[in-house]
Amino acid sequence: MTTKTKKDYDCVASVREIRDRLSAKLARMSPEERVEWLNTRKFSDPILRRLAARSQQRKSA
């Protein structure tokens, strides 16, 4: 016998909503604006931070 519990927070729905909003925002930008927008973001994920830093190093080289 299984019982369903009511969810207070739906993570999947939240991620989908955020992704949809971000996709709509990026779709209105030119490629140059997208690059600038990504370069001005602070990443909380350490892997993304390293990738962004490497990208900046390649640009300056």
Q: Which residues of 37-51 are buried (b: 16+ CB within 10 A; e: fewer)?
A: eeeeeeeeeeeeeee
Within a domain: 41:
yes
The average confidence (pLDDT) of the chain is: 84
Distance CA 51, CA 47 (A): 6
- pTM to 2 decimal places: 0.56
Instruction: Judge whether 61 lies within some domain.
Output: yes
What pLDDT digit, counting tens, does each position of 15-43 carry?
A: 999 999 989 998 999 988 988 888 788 88
Residue 12 lies in a domain: no
> What range defines the domain where residue 39 resides?
31-61
Q: Which of 28, 24, 29, 49 is nearest to 39 (CA)?
A: 49
Output the pLDDT for position 55: 79
